[in-house]
Each structure stands twice: as C-alpha cells, then as structure tokens.
Amino acid sequence: MEIAKSKPSRNSAFEILRIIAIIFIIAHHFSVHGAFDFSELGNSFLITFNRTWTDLLLQLGKVGVNLFVLISGYFLIDNNKFKSKKIISIILMMFIFSITLGLIFFFVEKKEFSISLLHSMIFPFGDNLWWFMTSYLVLYILSPLINRGIKAMNKKMHLILIIILLIIWSLLPTFLYENYGYSIFGWFITLYLIASYIKLYDINLKMKPWLGIILSVGIFLIWFAIRNVLHAYINPDKDILRRIIGWFALDDMNNFVQIISVITFFLSFKGIKMKEIKPINYIASFTLGIYLFHDHIDMRKFLWITLFKNASFAASPLLILYSIGIILLVFLMGLAVAIIYKYSIGLLIDKFLSWLDKKCLYKIDNSFNEPPIEEKE
C-alpha cells in the first residue's frame, strides 16, 4: 500500500483512483452500517429520493474493492520477490489496530470478557472481521508465485484464462444466478489476472480518458436506474422476476455489468498522463490504515450509529450533504490515525523488522526466491 522510496514514482492518477476507491468503500459503510429504515416513513418524494441515495452509496462498496484489487494487480505483477518483512508489517498493523481499538471499546463500553472476544482481538481475520484484508494479504503472499505462472503464459493463453473466469464467475452468476464455485479469493485472482494483462500488454481505451470516465459512470447509473425501476414496479415473489432483478445487483462484486464499468473506469485513469503529485501519493499511501480504522467491528457501530446517527437523517432534506460531509470526515479521521500509527508504533516496527531482516528474514526470502531449476546454470 505504501510507495517505496527506491522505486520510480507512480503516476498520481492511480493514487487518485486509490483514494476514490477508499471513499467509495466508506460511502458503502455509511449506508450499510447506518441502520437506515425507510419502511415506516411512507413513500413521499423526499423519502423515495433519500432511500435511492442510500442505495446508491451501498452499491459503491464493491466498486471500491474491485478498484483496489485491480490497482494492486497492476503494480504487483512486477513483484517477483517474496518479501517477508512487508507481509509481517501488514499482519502486525492489523494486529495492533485490532488490539488497540478492541481494548478501547472493551473498557469504554464495559464489555464482558469472553474467549471469543479475545480471539477476535488477537486474530482479526476472516469473513466477519476484516474480510477484505484477509483475502488481500493471502493474495500479496502468493503474488510472486502467481506472477511466475502469469509470465509463463503467452498473451493468448492469458486472455483465454481471463475470458473463462469472467464467464463462469461473472457472466453466468449475474444472469443465471448460479455461483459455480465462486469465492472472494477466486474473484481476487480473476481481477489480478485482468490487471496484470493490462499492465503486461499495455492495454488502453480507444477514447479520451474523460470520455471513458463518463462512459463508465453512465453504464453504472443506467444499470442502477433500471434496478430501481424494476424494484418499484415488479413484485419479486416469482422466482423468474427475482432473478431478473438480480441481474442489476451492483452490490455483487462479480456482477458482470459492474465489472465492465469498473474496468472502463480503471483504464480511463490509466490513460491520464499525470506527473507525480507528492501530497496525493502521500495521502494514498495511508488507505490501508484508513480501512482498518473505520471498518473495525466496534468502530462501525460507534461511527455510524452512536456518533453520527445516520438513521436519524433518513427523512431529512439534508441527507445528501450530510452523508458527503460525514464520509469525507471519516476519511480524514482514518487518515489522521494512519499517520499517527506510521510515525509512532509503525516507525518502531519498521526499525525492528529492518533489523530482523538483516538477521534472519533475508534467509526466508532467499529460500522462496530461489530461481526455478531450469534457470540455474
């Protein structure tokens, strides 16, 4: 997630895209964890409008996740070395955020101690905790091996594999409502393959970047609008009608139309020729910390229900302005916490891991980074 000083600076367009992705994820959490309930508020224009707005924010979450993985795959394809220091650094960051926030809420809320509570603090992995970071971490660990497999393929084989995976894990699930062995990690691999293909073969949109962005957003909004019209006028009691409405579920990470929109969005930003903007790159390097802070299991309830009282604005004409302000505020709060972490505990961890790297970690890295037998001469 952070930019190594020894490497060439990245195009800041990608770092802006990274910031957009985390803001999309925060927006999703504003909606999904905000306890909004419009069922008893009637069907006035304002209520319908606010319900549609919170639904739109909800749809943005998986867009942000898909963008993150595409960005990671685009840059990690150049990573051919196993880096135990980086892996341990990410694990320790997750551990420290989990323990620190967990203890704060344990004492403030006067929770009753239990083994399950202790387990969730010291082992913050899995579907009910930081599911994204769990899958991302596994992807990062395996990336050097995945890269060797990708680079062993030619361009045609690489493209065929992407097409097959998109058909069985995106196209068919979207329109036939069947998963065919789909998993989050399997989908991350699919996105990684797409991003690496774009990087290795320099795939570009055949249009101006701003047109690509408009096209991407247009596809998303049209699909979203159709979904809302169907919800309003179709009774989903019958299975066939429920399946048709499911075609437009943009909150599904592998929705075929959503991924077409996301790839177009990603390629549009790739086409933007932008020099390094150091403040942008600096802020983007803290997206991991922002995610860990605001999506901690206790922080979710505190931010969206206790502190900001999202649901109380369900019938307010100020909901849109309020939501935008709170989403940006949570972004800044997470940024501040991530910066404090980096220059306090993170600094100590980095020095310790650098010392450990010189003592023993390099041996682990070297054992994994041994060249294949056929390359040894």
pLDDT of residue 9: 60
Query: Above 70 in pLDDT, residue 2?
Result: no
Mean pLDDT of the 50-60 span:
95
Query: Above 90 in pLDDT, residue 1?
Result: no
Q: Quickly tell me which residue has 């054992």 as its tokens.
A: 367
Give residue-wise pLDDT tens across range 267-296: 999 999 888 899 999 999 999 999 999 999
Mean pLDDT of the 134-146 span:
92
Distance CA 45, CA 48 (A): 5
Mean pLDDT of the 256-273 span:
95
Q: Is the dihedral of CA 336, 340, 342, 345 positive or negative?
A: negative
How would residue 120 be classed by pLDDT, with cut points 50, 70 and 90? confident
How would residue 254 be classed by pLDDT, with cut points 50, 70 and 90? very high
Give domain status of residue 119, yes or no: no
Give residue-wise pLDDT tens across range 293-330: 999 999 999 999 999 999 999 999 999 999 999 999 99
Short-list 199, 229, 218, CA closest to 73: 199
CA 305 to mean position of chain CA atoms = 23
Distances (CA, A) of 22 to 122, 127, 136, 372: 25, 19, 14, 38
Distance CA 337, CA 96 (A): 12
Query: Above 80 in pLDDT, residue 376?
Result: no
Give residue-wise pLDDT tens across range 206-236: 999 999 999 999 999 999 999 888 877 776 6
Short-list 106, 135, 115, CA closest to 298: 106
Q: DSSP string covering 267-331, please?
A: HHHHT------HHHHHHHTTHHHHHHHHTSHHHHHIIIIIIS-GGGGTT-TTHHHHHHHHHHHHH
Give domain status of residue 123, yes or no: no
Tokens of 350: 């980095």
Range of the domain at 272: 12-86+139-375
pLDDT of residue 121: 86
Give residue-wise pLDDT tens across range 67-115: 999 999 999 998 878 888 899 999 999 999 999 999 999 999 988 888 8
pLDDT of residue 235: 66
Give domain status of residue 131, yes or no: no
14 close to 311: Cβ distance less than 8 angstroms: no
Give domain status of residue 127, yes or no: no
Q: Quickly tell me which residue has 């203890």 as its tokens.
A: 103
Give residue-wise pLDDT tens across range 190-202: 999 999 999 999 9
Give domain status of residue 112, yes or no: no
pLDDT of residue 200: 96
Distance CA 241, CA 181 (A): 24
Mean pLDDT of the 144-151 span:
93
Query: Above 80 in pLDDT, residue 346?
Result: yes
Cα-Cα-Cα-Cα dihedral of 283, 288, 289, 291, to 10°? 110
Looking from the CA of 131 toward its CB, the CA atoms found within 13 Å total 8
Q: Which amino acid is it at 150?
A: I
Q: Which amino acid is it at 178?
A: E
Short-list 149, 260, 137, CA closest to 188: 137
Asked whether the whole model's pTM tops 0.85, one would answer yes
Give residue-wise pLDDT tens across range 148-187: 999 999 999 999 999 999 999 999 998 887 788 899 999 9
Distances (CA, A) of 19 to 172, 264, 369: 31, 17, 32
Distances (CA, A) of 323 to 38, 75, 158, 204: 16, 32, 42, 34
Tokens of 332: 């800044």
Q: DSSP string covering 318-339, please?
A: THHHHHHHHHHHHHHHHHHHHH
The torsion angles phi and psi of 21, rounded to 5 degrees, stand at -60, -45
149 close to 196: Cβ distance less than 8 angstroms: no
pLDDT of residue 4: 39
The tally of domains found in the chain comes to 1
What percentage of the chain exceeds 70 in pLDDT? 92
67 close to 21: Cβ distance less than 8 angstroms: yes
Q: Quickly tell me which residue has 């699930």 as its tokens.
A: 173
Q: Which residues are CB-contacts of 34 (< 8 A; sequence separation ≥ 6)?
A: 54, 304, 305, 310, 311
How would residue 52 be classed by pLDDT, with cut points 50, 70 and 90? very high
What percentage of the chain exceeds 90 in pLDDT? 69
